[in-house]
Structures are given as C-alpha cells and as structure tokens.
Structure 1
Amino acid sequence: MTTRRQADGAIVVELRGTLDAATVSSVRAELLTSLARGRPRVLVVDLTFVTFMDSMGIGALVAAHEAARDVGGRVRLRNPSEFVHRQLRVTGLSDLFGLPSGSPNSRSYRF
C-alpha cells in the first residue's frame, strides 16, 4: 500500500493484493488516517492491483466514504478489476464511489 498527494490536493492510496479479513484493518486505518490528517477534497483509492475483495473490504471502503463526508470530501475508486466492480454493483455501491453501475466493457471510467 502506498499513499501520495497529487498536485491538485487529492490523496491517492494504492492498494495491492486482497482486501479481506486478513488485510482490512491496516487498509481501513490507512484510509481513515489519510482522511483525518490530509483532509483532502478527494481521496482516490486505486484498486488496479487488488485481486479480491470481500464484504469486509467493502466495509472499509464505506467507512472511508463516511469519514470523507465528515471532513467535506469524497472517496473515488480507480481501476477496479471486473471482479471488484461486480462486487460493488451487486451491493449497489458503485455509484457511491463514482463508478458506472453497468458492466465496464470499455473501461472508460478509468482515470
């Protein structure tokens, strides 16, 4: 996991591997700490290298969303795999994180 601030003030947290019971506490802590310390308008969670995410991982993202809202910011997800995107669609959370609710055939939502 790496964290950096972009020139526009957004904080980017790049996650790798699996987002599940074994890793979720450190991921949640990093996301919440980044929001509390940096108070960014946008926290970008880059999921390019996340291969699996379960309900606990989704819970960490929702906790980050709520914390961002509390400081006047928002969380946006970047580059989820088809599996991760499907998990978010099934739970009805893709719109919450700025992802299209349909299947990402063209991957045009990547930024």
Structure 2
Amino acid sequence: MGEAVMTTRRQADGAIVVDVRGSLDAATVDALRQSLLGTLQRERPAVLVVDLTFVVFMDSLGIGALVSGYNAAREVGCRFVLRNPSEFVHRQLRVTGLSEMFGLPPSTSPQTFTP
C-alpha cells in the first residue's frame, strides 16, 4: 500500500486547494476523505480545488473519496474542481464513467477541469 501527503492552502481568490501527492488506496483514502469533508465543514469555501498533479496511483477507494468530496461540496453549495489529474487518474475516472461528472474532457491536458 502506498503513501499520500495532503496539504491545504487558500488561494488569493479565496478558493481552498487540497494538494494530494502519492497513492490513493486503502491506506490513504481516509485521510483524503477527512481532509475534504473537514475543509468543507470548517471553511465553507465557494470553490474547493483538489490538485491531483502528483497522484501516481488511485484505486476504487480513491475514486470513492473524490465522489464523497464532490457530493459534500454540492450539499454546501461549493464548486468542486479537479486540477491536473495525471493520465492514469484521468483514465481511472473515464473507465468508471465518472469523468463527465467531474467535468473532465475526453483526454487530459494541463488545465483545470470544472464540473
């Protein structure tokens, strides 16, 4: 099982960014879910950005944590944005049929994707 590091910061425009690095699997998804849900409850941002630039692996549990964050953001009126998913992560979301829900284009490109 892998390791993941999550850091949270506020951008100048008020959006909160959760930077995720490493692997999202059984050993790490609880920390991601807690980070996303806790940030939404405490901060109530207008926009929550999850930066996936340095995510090297993600299984179905990682996808589930992102879906939980997306649903929780919708409940509080927050826009949930995935930023820079790697080709591997993007492929996982396409295969599961969730890329459209997250507003991802048919293939990855170095930009921010918004639902």
Q: TM-score, normalised by structure 2?
A: 0.88
Distance 1:50 1:82 in 2: 10
Equivalences for residues 3-82 of structure 1 within 5 A: 3-82=8-87
Distance 1:42 1:90 in 2: 26
What letter is aligned with 1:32?
L
Deviations 1:31-67 (A, max 9, x none): 1011111111111000011000000000000000111
SS in 1 for 2:101: helix
Structure 2: stretches of 5+ with no match in the other structure:
1-5
Who is 2:104 aligned against? Answer: 99
Distance 1:62 1:34 in 2: 15
SS in 2 for 1:68: helix
What letter is aligned with 2:59?
D
Distance 2:57 2:20 in 1: 11
| CA RMSD of superposed structures (Å) | 1.0
Structure 1: stretches of 5+ with no match in the other structure:
none
Distance 2:62 2:91 in 1: 14
Distance 1:21 1:55 in 2: 9
Distance 1:3 1:30 in 2: 8
